[in-house]
Amino acid sequence: MPRGKYQDKAEELFANADVRINGDRPWDIQVHDDRAYTRWLADGTMGFGESYMDGWWDSPRLDELILRLVRARLDQHVRTLGMLWHALGARLFNEQTRRRSRKVGRQHYDIGNHLYEIMLGDRMMYSCGYWMEADTLDEAQEAKLDLICRKLDVQPGMRVLDIGCGWGGAARFVAEKYGAEVVGVTISAEQARLAQENCKGLPIDIRMEDYRNIDGKFDRIYSIGMFEHVGYKNYHTYMDAARKLLADDGRFLLHTIGGNYSVHGTDPWVRKYIFPNSMLPSIAQIGKAIERKFVMEDWHNFGPDYDRTLMSWWSRFDENWDKLKADYDKRFYRMWKFYLLSSAGLFRCRENQLWQVVLTPHGLPGGFPPVR
């Protein structure tokens, strides 16, 4: 098919989302290389993201562009062999085994603590802030951590488990502000190293350990932004582990990004460049995994807050690029920009959600008092 036909097809496709090729609105696409048209149609979302990384096209407002493309369900119009193979592989194989689970640590979380220190703010929380009464990113992250502790009713002297502790920001908050003893686990070597430094002098034990290998009993458990790496084949295993570790009168808070429908993998571009072996759970998948293990006390959705969090991360990353570019090239900059702004667009159009779910083994006498 001649190249002009590909351009016509792309223009027709994007028109369904009110997006123009070489238009003058902020969310329109400016094409710099005509090869982009064939790449989009041949490779779907992979080709769309990679051609952006290669500088073949731009858009002044990537976040607004992605919002429109997702609302129009354009991904349903472009199905490639690679996308089908990925979907089949996700169903056939457990991509989040103990061995494979370390891959995301090496590829994403170990790429440089300096990058995350600049982007994430004081406590280096790589998860959604809570903006109800916050004006800054740091305030939103402090509010999120306090919200978690209040929902869990953390008391001084309690033993608390942090599954997926990152750089130790949450563990430090729980120990400093609520007087608890914390065990934090991560599968990232760089996170573990910096978390141990950040938590020195506090009753905090940071371990590089898979959640399936933890032993002991805990009064409270929380997991912030880690469940997205568990995979649907392991949801029951994960919940079994949490139940085994939680005291009979304990509470467990799951903080996770979620999707509006059940899937068995993630977008191919995200899988290759950002979060290998990741996927977003649905309400149905979480519900099946907790059945006969926990009582669901509270389910809180503040997904729109992630849009604002991601835009804050993007601003900090972009404004400080001069401090980072010695360690990362221009293609990384465009990859990271595409990742952050497309993610913001997904939350803005309500395709992705952010859930905090409070679970108990037997149900709280009298019920769970609303905490917001």
pLDDT at 77: 66
Quote the pLDDT of residue 265: 87
Q: Is residue 369 part of a domain?
A: no
- What angle (nearest 5°) sits at the alpha carbon of residue 367, between those of residues 149 and 219? 40
Dihedral sign (CA 148, 193, 306, 355):
negative
Q: Which amino acid is at 277?
A: N
Same domain for 64 and 106, yes or no, is no
pLDDT digits (tens, 9 = 90+) for 344-361: 999 999 999 999 999 999
Residues 77-89, mean pLDDT to the nearest whole number? 50
Which two three-digit tokens encode residue 341? 């702004």
Confidence at 99, pLDDT banded by 50, 70, 90: low
pLDDT confidence of residue 96: 52
pLDDT band of residue 334 (cuts 50, 70, 90) is: very high
Tell me, yes or no, whether 27 and 159 share the same domain.
no
Mean pLDDT of 18-26: 97
**pLDDT reported for residue 222:** 98
- At 366, give phi and psi (nearest 5°): 85, -10
Whether 134 and 47 map to the same domain: the answer is: no
Same domain, 321 and 201: yes
In the three-class reduction of DSSP (H, G, I as helix; E, B as strand; rest coil), residue 184 is classed as strand
- pLDDT tens-digit series, residues 214-265: 999 999 999 999 999 999 999 999 999 999 999 999 999 999 999 999 999 8
pLDDT of residue 82: 47
- Domain assignment present for residue 158? The answer is yes
Q: Can you spell out the DSSP letters for 143-178? A: HHHHHHHHHHT--TT-EEEEET-TTSHHHHHHHHHH
In DSSP terms, which residues pair with 298 in a beta bridge? 358
pLDDT-based confidence at residue 86 (cuts at 50, 70, 90): very low
Whether residue 344 lies inside any domain: the answer is: yes
**73 and 130 belong to one structural domain:** no
* Gap between the Cα atoms of 49 and 235, Å rounded: 29
Q: Is residue 90 part of a domain?
A: no
Identify the band that residue 97 occupies on the pLDDT scale cut at 50, 70 and 90: low
Residue-averaged pLDDT of the chain:
92
State the maximum Cα–Cα separation within the chain, in Å, rounded to a whole number. 71
Q: Count Cα neighbours of 48 within 13 Å in the Cβ-side half-sphere.
A: 24
- Alpha-carbon Rg for the chain, nearest whole angstrom, is 21
Other beta carbons less than 10 A from residue 136's beta carbon: 13
Q: Is the domain of 28 the same as that of 149? A: no
Residue type, 229: H
- With cut-offs at 50, 70 and 90, classify the pLDDT of residue 156: very high
* Residue 291, helix vs strand vs coil: coil
Are both 220 and 325 inside the same structural domain?
A: yes
The boundaries of the domain holding residue 64 are 3-79
pLDDT exceeds cutoff 80 at 30:
yes
CA 362 to chain centre: 29
* Across 75-90, average pLDDT: 53
Q: Are 250 and 218 within 8 A, CB to CB?
A: yes
Judge whether 86 lies within some domain: no
pLDDT-based confidence at residue 76 (cuts at 50, 70, 90): confident
The answer on 168 and 47 residing in a single domain is no
In the beta sheet, which residues pair with residue 356?
Answer: 255, 300
Task: Give the residue among 317, 320, 353, 351 at the shortest CA–CA distance from 336.
Answer: 317
Q: Does residue 368 sit within a domain?
A: no
Asked if residue 370 has pLDDT above 70, the reply is: yes
**Residues 181-213: tens digit of each pLDDT:** 999 999 999 999 999 999 999 999 999 999 999
| Domain match, 182 and 36 both | no
In 156-245, the DSSP E strands lie at: 159-163, 181-186, 204-208, 218-224
Which range, of 243-257, 263-277, 358-372, averages the lowest pLDDT?
Answer: 263-277
Position 91 in a domain: no
Comparing 90 with 155, which gets the higher pLDDT? 155
Count how many domains the chain has: 2
115 and 37 in a common domain: no
If asked whether residues 273 and 352 sit together in one domain, one would say yes
**Percent of the chain surpassing pLDDT 90:** 85
Query: Do the domain assignments include residue 38?
Result: yes
Strand bridging mode 352-360 / 295-301: antiparallel
DSSP for 88-112 reads HHHHHS-TTSHHHHHHHIIIIITS-
Average pLDDT over residues 3-8: 81
Residue 36: exposure state from Cβ atoms within 10 A (0-12, 13-18, ≥19): buried
Across the chain, where does the E strand assignment appear? 30-31, 57-58, 159-163, 181-186, 204-208, 218-224, 246-259, 295-301, 352-360
Which amino acid, one-letter code, is at 137? L
CA-angle at 45, arms to 287 and 270, nearest 5°: 55
Q: Which residues contact 245 (CB under 8 A, 6 or more apart)?
A: 161, 214, 215, 216, 217, 218, 221
* Of the residues 44, 79, 114, the one at which a domain ends: 79
What's the CATH code of the domain at 314? 3.40.50.150
For residues 60 and 31, what is the distance between their CA atoms, to the nearest angstrom? 12
The verdict on 137 and 56 lying in the same domain is: no
The pTM (predicted TM-score) of the whole model is 0.92
165 vs 81, higher pLDDT? 165
User: What's the rounded mean pLDDT across residues 339-346?
Assistant: 97
Residue with tokens 């990152």: 166
Cβ-contact 48, 40 below 8 angstroms: yes
**How is residue 227 annotated by DSSP?**
G
